[in-house]
A and B are shown apart, each in its own frame.
Chain A
Amino acid sequence: MILAAATLPDGANDGYVAAAYIVFFVLVLVYVAIMAWRLTRVERSVRDLHAREREQEREERERV
């Protein structure tokens, strides 16, 4: 705590430090959110592909 007391805000311009770190973490968060959204789309495509594959197999079996 003594160590921390000497390294924590001194009162002047503290908001700028918070703003810089918040901006950085928001940027990373936005990027991760975009990645998650893209992953959801890929998952949907994989599900569709799988369903169509099974449908194709069933049609082939029926034809035989």
Chain B
Amino acid sequence: MRLPGLRALSVTTALAFGVSLSLVFFYAPIEAEEGFVQKIFYLHVPLAIVSLCGFVLGGLEAIAHLRTREAKWDLRSYVAIHMSLIFGLAVLITGSIWARASWGHWWVWDEPTLVSFLIVFLLYATYQPLRFAIEDPERQARYASVFAITAAAFVPLNFIAVRLSASYVHPRVLGGTSSLPSSMAFTFLVSLAATALLYATLCSYELAAKRTRILLKSRSRILGFQ
């Protein structure tokens, strides 16, 4: 279970979050137009990036599963998507709070970034019902992998479509339209690293827990207790 590695990862994550929060509230300047509300950006955007990358990671691990037929890749793909869904829920809630504070509405339907993220989230929300609707474990893993790959291909396509869309109301962080001052960009990158570390830590805990349960089940079966 490599618990010492997990402990080190957890401590690093906690430290990174401490540094990130310190930078957000004591280093990054208050944005001229939005004011203090803009601090939500350092939480919301890294969560969205990590969540979308997690969905793509789940797809890549699903490819590895279909190529090798090793169960460990299916487990990793499942955990990556499961964790991305939790992060995605946080993105939707923090995004709604930010929208309410900045625009006066909890949700804006004509904003492509919001709606496209909701579509991706709802698409992945069907992953678990689909997965657990299939009883045979091998078929379950295979179908889940096919779904994960197809949906993962949709994520970058969706991202590009939003980028190409006409509306630029939503702030752009990465790419040519970025207009962040260096102190804000540095704080953003530290927040992004902390969020990615949190994702990695929670995935590692989830994987360790799932592996332990699988070991326990197989041990019970070997001893004839099941």
Contact = CB atoms under 8 A, between A and B. Distances in A.
Contacts of A42: 209, 212-213, 216
Nearest to B23: A7
A16 B90 contact: no
A28 B198 contact: yes
Contact of A20 (B43, B86, B219, B220): B43
B39 A52 contact: no
A33 interface: no
Contacts of B86: 27, 31
Contact of B27 (A7, A23, A49, A53): A7
Interface in B187-226: 198, 202, 205-206, 209, 212-213, 216, 219-220, 223, 225
A10 interface: yes
Interface residues of A, number: 30
Contact of A16 (B27, B30, B97): B97
Contacts, number: 86
Given A23-B90, A24-B94, A53-B223, A7 B29 contact: yes
B223 A24 contact: no
Find the residue from A16, A20, A35 having the highest chain B CB count within 10 A: A20
The interface residues of chain A, by DSSP majority, are classed as helix
A6 B213 CA distance: 50
A64 B220 CA distance: 24
Contacts of A35: 205-206, 209
The interface residues of chain B, by DSSP majority, are classed as helix
Nearest to B101: A16
A20 B198 CA distance: 17
Given A27-B86, A49-B223, A17 B29 contact: no
Interface in A47-64: 49, 52-53, 56
Contacts of A14: 36
Contacts of B94: 20, 23-24
Interface string A7-31: 1111011101101110110011001
B101 A13 contact: yes
Given A6-B29, A31-B86, A12 B35 contact: yes
Interface in B27-55: 27-30, 35-37, 39-40, 43-44, 47
A49 B25 contact: no
B27 to A, nearest CB: 7
26 contacts: A3-B27, A6-B29, A7-B29, A9-B36, A10-B30, A12-B36, A13-B35, A13-B36, A13-B37, A14-B36, A16-B98, A17-B40, A20-B44, A21-B40, A23-B90, A24-B43, A24-B94, A28-B198, A42-B209, A42-B213, A45-B220, A46-B216, A49-B223, A49-B225, A52-B225, A53-B223
